């Protein structure tokens, strides 16, 4: 069952709210002390995550079918999709074990689809949740994250404070509909928004040929401007023209960035303009994921835009 994107439901008392994790969905089929994991495409990925095998022993004879998400946590304890990619699509058991030692994952279980010899998918969310909590799953690499009935605003605020991806709202009376993207589950995404200094731009292609294609941005650290990526979406036609006029007199021959990979063909400018950018997260190297331009800021000096903000 999949969620639709939307806003936080107003009638919060009819919904339960769970934190949204930046991971990959897995279905766990457990029985006779063993467990098999399937991806959304029904591909067997059991060997990819050897540290999750112990869940089968905890569940015992079963059979039990669970729905959840596998995540990899960064040093700050937040899910990192970039880290998780280092664990995906590994073919051999030896390679998977080696990567597990370096980048461990956790299986976060949020639903139960089969239990006590019957399907539970026709039960309302509240009853499925009660059955799941009765399992009391708790291991080094698996557990059941909390759910908060009627507390959507508070849960979203907690997600924002912890810089998580957002929340999933699930209607209390909803059944589980496999393979369906249902309005009974709503994903409410949070995006981060911060200022970045413009240090250059990439020429556009196709419809943007001869104009700005993407801004090259960065933030100051230790007095030097460090590259944080390119921003190629979020522009209106009017803003593209406006930016082109502002950047033209600022051109320079050398890069203003202290370090960082900038693609060939980049046009560099004096770092005098500050852009506001919305994005999902920053990678371990500090590069923006899914950035979108929101506007220029004239109320902040470029040297004040630092990673210490």
- What are the sequence ranges of the domains in the chain? 1-21+146-190, 22-144, 192-304
Specify the fold of 192-304.
OB fold (Dihydrolipoamide Acetyltransferase, E2P) (2.40.50)
The rounded distance, in Å, linking the Cα atoms of 180 and 202 is 40
Half-sphere exposure of 94 (CA within 13 A, CB side): 0
End-to-end CA distance of the chain: 39
pLDDT band at 146 (very low <50, low <70, confident <90, very high): very high
- 300 catalytically annotated: no
Q: What CATH number belongs to 1-21+146-190?
A: 3.30.1490.70
pTM check: above 0.85:
no
Residue 135 scores a pLDDT above 90: yes
CATH class, range 22-144: alpha beta
Report the run of H or E that residue 85 belongs to, with start and end.
helix 81-85
Residue 198 predicted with pLDDT over 90: yes
Q: What is the pLDDT of residues 178-197, one digit of tens each?
A: 999 999 999 998 888 899 99
Whose tokens are 């693609």? That residue is: 263
Q: Is the pLDDT of residue 156 over 90?
A: yes
Locus of tokens 């209390």:
172
**Paired tokens of 81:** 């999709």
Split at pLDDT 50, 70, 90, the class of 308 is low
Mean pLDDT over each residue of the chain, to the nearest integer: 92
pLDDT tens figures, 18-45: 999 989 999 999 999 999 999 988 899 9
Structure tokens at 102: 């370096």
The pLDDT tens digits of the residues spanning 202-252 come to 998 877 777 899 999 999 999 999 999 999 999 988 889 999 999 999 999
CA atoms in the 13 A half-sphere facing the CB of 123: 16
Q: Rounded to an integer, what is the distance from CA 121 to the centroid of its chain?
A: 27
Give ∠ CA 231-80-19 in degrees, rounded to 5.
105
Residue 156 backbone phi and psi in degrees, to 5: -65, -40
């Amino acid at each position: 069952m999949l969620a639709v994107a939307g806003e936080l439901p107003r009638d919060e008392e009819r919904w339960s709210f769970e934190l949204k994790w930046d991971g990959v969905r897995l279905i766990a089929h457990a029985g006779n002390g063993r467990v098999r994991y399937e991806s959304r495409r029904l591909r067997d990925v059991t060997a990819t995550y050897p540290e999750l095998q112990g869940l089968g022993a905890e569940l015992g004879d079963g059979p039990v079918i669970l729905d959840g998400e596998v995540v990899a946590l960064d040093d700050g304890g937040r899910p990192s999709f970039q880290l998780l990619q280092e664990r995906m699509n590994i073919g051999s058991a030896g390679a998977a074990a080696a990567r597990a030692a370096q980048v461990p994952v956790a299986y976060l279980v949020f639903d139960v689809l089969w239990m006590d010899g019957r399907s539970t998918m026709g039960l309302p969310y509240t009853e499925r949740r009660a059955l799941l909590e009765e399992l009391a799953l708790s291991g080094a690499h698996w557990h059941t994250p909390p759910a908060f009935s009627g507390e959507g605003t508070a849960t979203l605020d907690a997600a924002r404070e912890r810089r998580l991806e957002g929340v999933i709202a699930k209607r209390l009376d909803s059944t589980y509909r496999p393979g369906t993207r249902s309005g009974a589950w709503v994903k409410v995404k949070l995006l981060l928004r911060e200022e970045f200094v413009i240090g250059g731009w990439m020429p556009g292609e196709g419809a943007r040929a001869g104009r700005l294609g993407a801004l090259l941005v960065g933030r100051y650290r230790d007095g030097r401007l460090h590259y944080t990526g390119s921003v190629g979406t979020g522009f209106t036609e009017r803003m593209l023209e406006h930016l082109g006029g502002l950047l033209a007199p600022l051109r320079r021959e050398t890069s203003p960035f202290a370090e960082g990979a900038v693609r060939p063909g980049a046009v560099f400018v004096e770092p005098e303009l500050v852009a506001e950018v919305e994005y999902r997260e920053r990678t371990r190297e500090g590069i923006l994921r899914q950035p979108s331009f929101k506007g220029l800021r004239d109320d902040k000096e470029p040297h004040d835009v630092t990673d210490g903000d």
